[in-house]
């Protein structure tokens, strides 16, 4: 059971939603929930210990300011640390626990120095009590937010997977039923009567991949499936005689990417380079997208920051098939 919990906490999860407008709505919703909860239930003896009617509004205002800074401002100041490809469900939960703790500190400062403490507790004692209160109230909107974000991600992913697989299906049909070539007899007729020779099909060019050592690998352009980074090495997967092959070469994925230019072979993840022309199926769930290559029976993850580009490229390649 614990292994499943750890796996779930390590699963990819976005940093809130994809736009500032939606994130602002999330912040306003949590603030409204906090205000209504304090006004209606007056928990932890709030009505007796804090008679000031404006107190719930001040506490809610503190929550709004702290949330606004952490959800909308801080990601703008340090964007590299808020890349969706770096975030997991566990990281998202820890970040929100930190936000709750910060709200608790400012709520303690307001309650201890402005409202006063009728119990004459020290600041440390008041801080511990306030942290418990804020955590008890904040756990509800945070849990609801995680649930709603995951459901929204899943619905959006399933819609986009369905569209992408339709494009992939149309591309497979185009490849299975190509335009029929001219018959051999007609070619002879053209050549005999008009002294013209029909153009012959050239052998597809190959890629020659050079490693940092003396090794090299020659592949037809259409044979490459994907490549996976392994420290200073890259594990290259391709198809040969209908069977999946792989080979480890000493070169970084960045070096490999520079040797394989073209719009079909792209970086889809920090650790993966994929030939989108060989993708058989797009799969996905609330954690993101995965490219399925049937010859190798392998799913390659797509970084959330690259998902929109990958979907557009798949559509463009399918339209050209």
In the chain, what are the domain boundaries?
2-164, 204-320
- Residue 194: the pLDDT is 46
pLDDT for 251 = 93
Give this prediction's pTM.
0.64
Gap between the Cα atoms of 13 and 30, Å rounded: 20
Q: What's residue 117's pLDDT? A: 66
Highest CATH level, class, for 204-320: mainly beta
The set of residues, in sequence order, having a beta carbon less than 8 Å from that of 245 and lying 6+ positions away, is 237, 238, 239
pLDDT in single tens digits along all 321 residues of the chain: 787 888 788 877 878 877 888 899 999 999 999 999 988 887 776 656 666 788 899 999 999 999 999 999 999 998 878 876 678 889 999 999 999 999 999 999 998 888 876 667 889 998 999 999 899 989 998 888 888 888 887 888 888 898 889 888 877 666 655 544 444 454 454 455 545 454 554 555 788 899 998 899 999 878 999 999 988 899 999 999 889 999 999 999 999 999 987 768 999 998 999 999 999 999 987 677 899 999 999 999 998 778 888 999 988 876 655
Question: Do residues 36 and 103 make contact, with C-beta atoms less than 8 angstroms apart?
Answer: no
pLDDT given at position 233: 93
And the tokens for 123? 């600041």
CB neighbours (10 Å) of residue 3?
A: 7
Q: Which residues pair with 292 in a beta bridge?
A: 281, 299
Looking at residue 86, its pLDDT comes to: 73
DSSP characters for 74-112? HHHH-GGGG-GGG-BHHHHHHHHHHHHHHHHHHHHHIII
Let me know the angle formed at the C-alpha of 194 by 188 and 195, rounded to the nearest 5 degrees.
Answer: 75
């Amino acid at each position: 059971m614990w292994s499943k919990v750890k796996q779930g906490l390590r699963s990819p999860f976005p940093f809130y939603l994809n736009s500032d407008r939606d994130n602002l709505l999330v912040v306003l919703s949590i603030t409204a929930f906090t205000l209504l909860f304090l006004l209606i239930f007056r928990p932890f003896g709030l009505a007796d210990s804090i008679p000031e009617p404006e107190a719930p509004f001040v506490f809610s205002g503190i929550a709004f300011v702290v949330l606004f800074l952490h959800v909308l401002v801080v990601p703008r100041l340090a964007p590299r640390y808020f890349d969706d490809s770096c975030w997991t469900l566990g990281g998202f939960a820890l970040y929100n626990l930190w936000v709750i703790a910060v709200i608790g500190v400012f709520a303690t400062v307001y309650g201890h120095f402005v409202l006063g403490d009728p119990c004459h507790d020290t600041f440390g004692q008041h801080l511990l009590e306030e942290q418990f209160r804020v955590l008890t109230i904040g756990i509800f909107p945070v849990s609801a937010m995680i649930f709603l974000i995951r459901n929204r991600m899943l619905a959006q992913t399933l819609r986009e997977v369905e569209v992408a697989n339709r494009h992939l299906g149309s591309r497979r049909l185009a490849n299975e039923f190509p335009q029929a070539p001219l018959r051999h007899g007609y070619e002879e007729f053209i050549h005999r009567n008009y002294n013209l020779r029909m153009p012959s099909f050239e052998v597809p060019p190959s890629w020659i991949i050079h490693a940092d050592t003396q090794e090299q690998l020659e592949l037809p352009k259409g044979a490459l499936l994907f490549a996976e980074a392994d420290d200073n090495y890259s594990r290259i997967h391709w198809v040969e005689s209908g069977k999946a092959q792989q080979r480890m070469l000493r070169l970084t994925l960045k070096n490999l990417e520079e040797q394989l230019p073209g719009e079909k072979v792209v970086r889809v993840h920090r650790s993966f380079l994929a030939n989108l022309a060989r993708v058989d199926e797009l799969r996905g769930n609330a954690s993101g997208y995965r490219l399925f290559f049937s010859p190798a029976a392998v799913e390659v993850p797509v970084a959330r920051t690259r998902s929109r580009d990958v979907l557009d490229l798949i559509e463009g390649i399918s339209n050209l098939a």
